[in-house]
Structure 1
Amino acid sequence: MLEKETISFEKTIIAGVVTQQQSEEKLTEYLDELEFLTFTAGGQVVKRFSQKMERPNPKTYLGTGKIEEIHLYIKEHDIKTIIFDDELSPSQSKNITKILDIKVLDRTNLILDIFAQRAETSYARTQVELAQCIYLLPRLSGMWTHLERQRGGIGMRGPGETEIETDRRIVRDRIALLKEKIKTIDRQMGVQRGNRGAMVRVALVGYTNVGKSTLMNVISKSEVFVENKLFATLDTTVRKVVIKNLPFLLSDTVGFIRKLPTQLIDSFKSTLDEVREADLLLHVVDISHPEFEDHIASVNQILQDIKSNDKPTIMVFNKIDAYKPLVIDHDDLITEKTNRHNTLEDWKATWMSTVGEEKALFISATNKENFEEFREKIYEAVRAIHISRFPYNNFLYPDYKDNHAEEKE
């Protein structure tokens, strides 16, 4: 009898703060996401800690009493890692490590680690390594002896042991080298984009894990990697798609996330160039996620940061098959989700249908629900862009020559 393969998860605790700018409800949402990030990285969250504060403690992020409470819990339950929801300053990280004597990570460190796991191509690995080196540079002091004790696991993937043993000068040299390497690849990718000709470019954008890759597979009939984890896809995939008689290029880009590390935005410049150079954006939203409105706002903010917020955009609300509306029982004051699903008419009657310049679409990429309307909408949008670019293109206007023969004469 074959033994089942057992997956070993790293026992982890997570922590965050409730402040004037961040309510308790908002922190719960962030910690839910941080727990999913931890699971994606290979950890198991066994406990959450939070504290109400005016602002995070500049020395230890949390208050002295809360840190002691965490320290006691760590000893009693043999915890190996703690992850904080916000980016820690180098001094905060150093002070917390000294007190707790375990691996101390923050959200940025965790996301960088997931990217290190997911990077498949040489280019993606170079981008991730650059982001990690930039993050680690101010944190070198007093960090390596701790890492020597805590090899392996979450947050330990990355540049490699040579960087752990090095000094600031060598890390700076490494950063300069990686930047030059990325510049070279950026130029090559720029040439590749130029060689694609004048075809209309459409880019899928959205929060991580909203179903962009599944949608890409269905539209282009390709096999892009899909998994129910955050950041399943890092490398941009570009496919030629033909709807009716009209060809265009469709790209699947890296998913966005709240509090996306600035190091990643900088190092993934070429990946984001696919968004910057797109003629049309399909903003995919997981409508079954309880915080999808926040996800929309986060994506719009990043699009604004990379100066792509003014592009023609179609909102695509995905996973309508997974959405479960809330029903309130007024007698028992209980709110619960029902298995009843909204119809397309129900969705089109909501405020969501008017989000953006164009009418929004409601689909299920997995079940191909409402896909004919989706394809027709994309065809019309791409066709309009193509017409504005090539007003005398005969394949779009088969009767143009005949109807305008007298004008030309």
Structure 2
Amino acid sequence: MPHAPEPDQDDLDTIAPPQPVFHVEQALLGALLLDPHRLDDVSGIAADSFSTAAHAALYCAITTLPRPDPAQHAKNTQWLDHVLATSREQARGLTASYLHTLVQVCPWPCHAPAYARMVEAEHARRRLQTAAERLVHAVHDASLPHPVQTALAEADALAAVVDDIANRFPPRAGALPRTTAPPPPAAPDPTEAVEEEQILLATATAYPSDIDAARWLLPDDLTLPLHAGLWQCLTTLARRHEPVDPVTVLWEAQQRGLLDHGSEPGEVLGILAEPAGSVEYWGERALQRSLLATAEHTGRRIKAYAGDPANTPFQLVVGARRALADIAAVRTRWQHTTEPLSCPPPRRRAAPTTRAGPPTTTAAHAARTTRATR
């Protein structure tokens, strides 16, 4: 039979021990309670820098109440009573005995600046983790009408946090995070992504003249290695001005070794057989997925770095900036796609001189117009 605990038995194993920063905060608060004038040596932190509501309330009271006369403070507890009364307005569970504990656990009050720097570093780590979580959440929020714009706004907010931490803790050369970065996330709807990429490849094969209009799309933007390789085949053939059709693309794929990993020729021909819409439209869809996937991966990387307390603020800044550079690269291509640069209208070119020939009939003109607008 399972062991049934006694009614008065406490399950202390379920209570997580306090983190090191909790003891640092205690030492700092104890130093300020013992010697309030040491506030002049403390900088870079505020009430929200502390990890618990009780500590935040105590720091707020210490910094807002008038400082006591040093001689009187050494003789009585009047100022401490005011601090307790003020802080209990925000944290009612505080007691006089806890203030006494804070004073007792402070090793050296003169080390208050060092304790404050530690509190500031831990707060920076929590801020970075929160900002990274917001970025990941924005990518997965299906209710957003404009997911890309929201994700980019959260990426900007995350970058602002990184810049602020860098100003407080200038990064050191070569100080990379020691935390292993998580693998890239899978596509949220791989079936939809695969189908749209197949249509993109088929449409580009049918209308190779439109490939140049989607030069901002890179092979790595596609979700499957086969699709990425086929897009590279298409762009290469178009750049060389070589014939483009399902057979020539299949041959180029063979030359690049794309059929060495289990892909059958019939499968490739099937992918390229059903064009629809425009290359730009499907390319933009693929680039949007790539941007959101990059944003999620960046958020998860930074979240993993910030979740490791062994990383210093210097390492967090370096690692976060490297991760954010991935978003910046995709973002630049996205802006070229959705926000084309304004430029003067092209000059009208004279119509090319043609040799005399039979008059163009209405039927022939209509046929050419139909082909041109396909």
What TM-score do the two structures reach when normalised by structure 2?
0.24
Structure whose residues are more often helix by fraction: 2
What TM-score do the two structures reach when normalised by structure 1?
0.22
